[in-house]
Chain A
Amino acid sequence: MDPRVLLFAVIFSLVPGWNAWAQERTLAGEVSALPLQVDVKGNRAKFNEYRDLRGGVHGHIVLRYSEEKTFLDFKADDIGYRDQKYELSGGRWGSVRYHLGYDGLPHNFTFGSRPSP
């Protein structure tokens, strides 16, 4: 085969692929850090029964990336705390979807209890 024809064929064969590569991409999201001061008057364990609401900086991240055929979402809440939550999901629209997650769930009954004698 004539090398020039072959080169021409290869270049044109790649054109549809280039068209797919050049498809629209979207990246959106938010990153926030919330300084928090907590003063609990009363039962601290009940207040934090299913959460870890302490003073400090609470981080929150949401990122959403999508193309025409695929998507990828990432979400993080209360980073570094006992009730921290991370989610990563993605896939190909209409065919495959995956979801990976970690969700910390503390269950506090009491703080500072001592064993019975």
Chain B
Amino acid sequence: MRKAFFVFSIVPGLLFFGGGLSPQEAGGSNGTVGVEICKGCHEDHFKTYMLSTHSKKGIPGSPASKDGCESCHGPGAAHVEKSGEGGVGIFIFSKKLADAKAKSAKCLECHSEQRDLSFWEMARHKIEGVSCDNCHTVHSGTRKNLKATQPDLCNFCHKSIRSQQNRTSHHPIREGKLKCTDCHEHHGGFGPTLLKGDSVNELCYQCHAEKRGPFMWPHPPVDENCLTCHVPHGSNHSKLLSNRVPQLCSDCHNSSGHPSRPYTRFETFQGPTPSNKMFARSCLNCHNNIHGSNGPSTRGKTMVR
């Protein structure tokens, strides 16, 4: 009876009352002072920290479940003793005070086990000196603690890509229907240019599956690389083409006669006989199954409708 009483009442009671003081609040013997002391001087930082997921004690291994502020910034006893003086072992995520490697290393103390960070060590961003705090902030209430939403966050550095996104033919990135991270593995991966696919084509086919085939009459550059004809981020030519048809087609089909003779101003409005080979969809007026055709005989072979 007494044993049962002890198990069912005393133990839970001790757990409840003993749980009132967490290590981060009480301070510790390892040179930590606890979040309440930090809050006394850095109240603004504390408020933004409390908005972030880092402040959730329910997350296993979160700063809140360990030493609070001092989990990332280091023990603050010496800092407090010297009345908040700098340079006493407090780690600050500042470009002036710590390099990218040191800042990322601090984050990776906890986040190294994350699945999407498996290839961070070989990631282009790391090699170029980008650190976690360039995109993330520890003190934030935003999703994934990001400093801004996509694509603005990426475009802050990738300005040439931003200009391409604003061209007349574009993926729906600026409309918010497609994110940079839908195609790119920003933390590093095996694909070229941080792509999420093993190749450009494999990535494109995830959405544009009808271009994959197999076709009875394939168009070889389609199988080879979509980027032979298309630019992914934006173009001033229709359909994200890298050049205008028929000039784009003439880049490869350059033998004499139709279809490859170079079209000149004589076929345009300046000439006596404007040609539909120069206007509207040009070559694609007839060869509209340009990604490949299952049509019979020469119709399929020449990819005409």
Contact = CB atoms under 8 A, between A and B. Distances in A.
A8 B9 contact: yes
Contact of A9 (B5, B16, B62, B143): B5
A5 B12 contact: no
Nearest to A73: B143
B57 A16 contact: no
A79 to B, nearest CB: 15
Interface string B6-40: 00111011011001000000000000000000000
B181 interface: no
Interface residues of A, number: 32
A19 B56 contact: no
B58 interface: yes
B60 interface: yes
Contacts of A2: 1
A29 B19 CA distance: 31
* Among A2, A12, A68, A92: residue with most chain B CB under 10 A: A12
B16 A15 contact: yes
Interface string A53-72: 00000000000101111100
Q: Is the interface of B mostly helix, strand, loop or mixed?
A: loop
B262 interface: no
B168 A46 contact: yes
Given A28-B141, A51-B175, A93 B9 contact: no
B58 A93 contact: yes
A14 to B, nearest CB: 8
B5 A94 contact: no
A16 B1 CA distance: 22
A111 to B, nearest CB: 17
A12 B58 contact: no
A15 B58 contact: no
What does DSSP make chain A's interface, helix, strand, loop or mixed?
Answer: mixed
Contact of B60 (A12, A83, A94): A94
B235 to A, nearest CB: 14
A28 B8 CA distance: 38
A9 B13 CA distance: 10
Interface string B246-273: 0000000000000000000000000000
B5 A15 contact: no
Contacts of A77: 176
Interface in A1-56: 1-2, 5, 8-13, 15-16, 19, 28, 46, 49-51
B5 A13 contact: no
Given A50-B172, A105-B172, A67 B12 contact: no
A46 B175 CA distance: 13
Interface string B70-93: 000000000000000000000000
Interface string B129-166: 00000000000010100000000000000000000000
Contacts of B208: none
Interface in B47-80: 53, 56-62
A64 B5 CA distance: 42
Interface string A79-117: 000010100000011100000000101000000000000
20 contacts: A9-B4, A9-B5, A9-B8, A12-B10, A12-B13, A15-B16, A16-B19, A50-B172, A51-B175, A68-B58, A70-B58, A77-B176, A83-B177, A85-B176, A92-B58, A93-B56, A93-B62, A94-B61, A105-B172, A105-B177
Name the 6 nearest CB pairs between A and B, nearest first: A69-B58, A9-B8, A50-B172, A12-B9, A68-B58, A93-B59
